[in-house]
Structure formats: structure tokens, C-alpha cells
């Protein structure tokens, strides 16, 4: 089974990494797919986001790959010949059942059956999101506070990049 794990990963966090690792235990391959969304103003470029993710998995000879995509997720999943979309489930906001159904319907219209697989967040990590880390890092670096929180929630390259963006 090949899974596409889509998201903004702006930047990748320990919550994202946990879900990808757990999925990679039962899937043949997990493709982490960074969404290039011109309508949203991300903090980091796609290329930076890819670099942080690659670093997070560099030490593992793993079945986790990293890629980026724009446009329709279902089209990308079909193009990759993947079987399912992978999502992490922190709370009810993550349970976008209408998206799951529409992705399946679009993929079917393109000639492929796909499912959405939800993996529940590890309880100790269910508060972690890209936006929490971005907001906290902005305050921490602007005000010269200790950055243990940032260091514990993102890979070292993302920590350094957050410091560079926000430090005054
Ligand atoms: P966010 O900014 O909320 O982290 P993303 O678009 O980067 O949003 O999330 C990509 C995917 O990772 C989504 O399926 C999301 O539910 C999942 N995810 C994000 N953080 C966590 C976490 N702490 N635990 C489990 N899944 C997570």
C-alpha cells in the first residue's frame, strides 16, 4: 500500500513526523506531499519545507519519501498511483469526511479507487500544529526567550530557520 500524506508542513513538526513514522510501519511507502498553495502565504518556501522534512528522516533508511504538489490532491494521488490519502486525527477539525468523500469521487472519475486513512494523534502530541509552532517561535525569538519549546517540536534545521526569520 502506497500512501500520500498531504499538508502544508509549514514547518514540519514532531506531530507530523510521528504520523508518518507510524504509517510507514504498515505501508509499503509513505509520500509526504507538501502543498504548494499560491492562495496561502506560507512562512517557508516549498523548498525550505522539503529540506526540513528530508532532514527529519535522513537518519532512517526509510520508505518515507518527500515531494510537493499543487492543484487537485486527488489528481496527484492518482498520478503517483497511490492507494490512499493519509491524515492525522488530532480532533474533530481534522475529520474532514466531506473532503475524503470528494477526493474518492474525483479519483474514481480519473479511473482509480482511493481511500482516506486517518491515524489518531499520539495523545501527548495532539496539541502540536504548524501554526502553534510558528506563533510561539515568533514571540520566543523576538523577545529573546529560551527556545526549548521550538527545539522540542521541530527538526534542528527548522529551528534554525525560525530563529533566523524572527530574531531581532
Ligand atoms: P498543521 O499546520 O495543522 O500542522 P498541516 O497541513 O501541516 O497542518 O497538517 C498535515 C497533516 O498532518 C494533517 O493530516 C494533520 O491532521 C496532520 N497533523 C498535524 N499535526 C499533527 C499532530 N500533532 N498529530 C497528528 N497529526 C497531525
In ligand 1, the atom with minimum distance to the C-alpha of 14 is: 23
Return the pLDDT at 64: 96
User: Is 90 exceeded by the pLDDT of residue 60?
Assistant: no
Alpha carbon distance 33, 70 (integer Å): 9
Q: What mean pLDDT comes out for the span 19-48?
A: 95
63 CA to middle of ligand 1, Å?
A: 20
In the sheet that 115-120 helps form, which strands lie side by side, from edge to edge?
64-69, 29-35, 2-7, 84-89, 115-120
Q: Are 83 and 114 in contact (CB under 8 A)?
A: yes
Q: What mean pLDDT comes out for the span 6-28?
A: 97
User: Is 90 exceeded by the pLDDT of residue 143?
Assistant: yes
Return the pLDDT at 61: 66
Return the pLDDT at 37: 85
90 CA to middle of ligand 1, Å?
A: 8
Return the pLDDT at 38: 78
Return the pLDDT at 95: 86
Q: Exposure of 47 by Cβ count < 10 A (0-12 exposed, 13-18 middle, 19+ buried)?
A: exposed
Return the pLDDT at 125: 98
- In this structure, the residues whose C-beta lies within 6 A of any atom of ligand 1 are 7-9, 13, 15-16, 19, 87-88, 90, 94, 121, 125-126, 128-131
Per-residue pLDDT tens over the stretch 61-113: 689 999 999 999 999 999 999 999 999 999 988 887 788 999 999 999 999 99
In ligand 1, the atom with minimum distance to the C-alpha of 130 is: 2
79 CA to middle of ligand 1, Å?
A: 23
142 CA to middle of ligand 1, Å?
A: 25
Please calculate the CA angle 68-10-95 and round it to the nearest 5 degrees.
85
4, 9, 13, 16, best to mutate for ligand 1 pocket (most atoms within 8 Å of CB): 16
87 CA to middle of ligand 1, Å?
A: 7
Return the pLDDT at 113: 95
pTM of the model: 0.96
Amino acid at each position: 500500500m502506497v500512501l500520500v500524506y498531504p499538508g502544508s508542513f509549514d514547518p514540519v513538526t514532531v506531530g507530523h513526523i510521528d504520523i508518518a513514522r507510524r504509517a510507514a510501519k504498515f505501508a509499503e511507502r509513505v509520500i509526504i506531499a507538501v502543498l504548494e498553495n499560491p492562495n496561502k502565504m506560507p512562512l517557508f518556501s516549498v523548498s525550505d519545507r522539503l529540506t526540513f522534512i528530508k532532514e527529519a528522516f535522513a537518519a532512517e533508511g526509510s520508505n518515507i519519501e518527500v515531494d510537493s504538489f499543487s492543484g487537485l490532491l486527488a489528481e496527484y494521488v492518482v498520478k503517483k498511483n497511490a492507494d490512499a490519502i493519509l491524515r492525522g486525527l488530532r480532533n474533530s477539525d481534522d475529520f474532514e469526511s466531506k473532503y475524503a468523500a470528494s477526493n474518492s469521487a474525483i479519483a474514481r472519475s480519473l479511473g482509480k479507487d482511493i481511500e482516506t486513512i486517518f491515524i489518531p494523534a499520539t495523545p501527548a502530541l495532539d496539541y502540536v500544529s504548524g501554526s502553534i509552532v510558528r506563533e510561539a517561535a515568533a514571540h520566543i525569538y523576538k523577545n529573546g526567550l529560551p527556545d526549548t519549546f521550538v527545539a522540542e517540536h521541530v527538526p534542528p534545521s527548522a529551528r534554525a530557520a525560525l530563529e533566523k526569520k524572527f530574531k531581532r
